[in-house]
Amino acid sequence: MECCLLTVCAVSAALLFVLFYWLVPAVQRNAMWALLWHDFITERLHDTLTRSTRPQRMLKAVQKKATKGDPESVISAIDYFCKHSEWAMNVGDEKGSILDSVVTEVNPSTVLELGTYCGYSTVRIARLLSPGTKFITLEFNPANVTIARQIIAYAGLQDKVTVVEGSSGDLIPQMKERFGITTFDFIFLDHWKDRYLPDIKLFEECGLLRKGSVLLADNVICPGAPEYLEYVRNSPRYESRYYPAHLEYTKVEDGLEKSVFLE
């Protein structure tokens, strides 16, 4: 019995050694390990232990730490949650500052976000918009829509944002008729990465881009959107610029691609 106990302790110690001296540094710097660790292992572990979902826990963190009606405090509460409690695929604070600068530079009157998730980037964008700006954000997952609406409302921005549930492929062609949008000044892509290229082509086909329309795409390196990058960087219809950064709340290489529509 004592021998078995010693063996268990030795094995446990070895596993902990591997975890802290090999896996954790790998998670911090390797894209595959980071996504596997954060988006598969730890999320499911927390879900099981708490009998809740990550978006639900994020909402609770906002309600506990943020000031109602204060967008900045909501952003700070989510950043704190993601740095100290649980990682989540928001655009994050580092890339979020790049997003802020592009939105401020464009000063758009019509905005579309693809991929609301829990509303973090929605809050970042909405707080910078001028009165009267039309801002539509699309989210495929109905559970995420429920959480996002609550977080956006907690930030006091519900009147500045229209949250729409559904797929981008179905909703993009409905923009003109359903929402009265002629063209978008600014589009933020942060949904399924394999939808980036089909959706930008859909914008073109539907005539939703004007000369000077700005598209900003997140996670173009991690998880990556190589076909999208190849398209916007080689098409004469776009002028593109890459903003190097890191995957939200990690040291993994990532970045945003800003593409200006030229015709």
Is the pLDDT at 70 greater than 80, yes or no?
Answer: yes
pLDDT per residue as tens digits for the range 154-172: 999 999 999 999 999 999 9
| Domain of residue 173, residue span | 92-261
The two tokens of residue 34 are 């980071």
What distance in Å separates the CA atoms of residue 144 and residue 238, rounded to the nearest whole number?
Answer: 32
Rounded CA-CA distance 196/168 in Å is 10
Tell me: pLDDT of 8 over 50.
Answer: no
| pTM score, whole prediction | 0.86
Residues forming the active site: 190, 193, 218-219, 248
Q: Answer whether residue 230 is part of any domain.
A: yes
Average pLDDT taken over every residue of the chain:
89
Asked if residue 85 is part of any domain, the answer here is no
Query: CA 116, 121, 122, 123: dihedral to nearest 10 degrees?
Result: 140
Kindly tell me if the per-residue pLDDT of 193 is higher than 70.
yes
Number of domains present in the structure of the chain: 1
Average pLDDT, integer, range 200-216? 98
Is 212 domain-assigned? yes
- The arrangement of strands across the sheet holding 238-246 comes to 162-165, 134-139, 110-114, 184-189, 209-217, 253-261, 238-246
Asked if residues 151 and 74 have their Cβ atoms less than 8 Å apart, the reply is yes
Give the pLDDT score at 4: 56
Q: Assess if residue 83 is contained within a domain.
A: no
Tell me if 17 is assigned to some domain: no
Residue 148 falls inside a structural domain: yes
Instruction: For residues 93-114, give the mean pLDDT.
Output: 98
Per the CB < 8 A criterion, the answer to whether 247 and 254 are in contact is: yes
Structure confidence at residue 45 as a pLDDT band (50, 70, 90): confident
In one-letter notation, the amino acid at residue 105 is E
Opening angle at CA 167, ends 89 and 208, nearest 5: 100
> What's residue 27's pLDDT?
47
Q: What is the DSSP string of 164-208?
A: EES-HHHHGGGHHHHH--S-EEEEEE-S-GGGHHHHHHHHHHTT-
Q: Is residue 244 part of a domain?
A: yes
27 or 48, greater pLDDT: 48
CATH of the domain at 144: 3.40.50.150
**Does residue 20 sit within a domain?**
no
Higher pLDDT, 49 or 13: 49
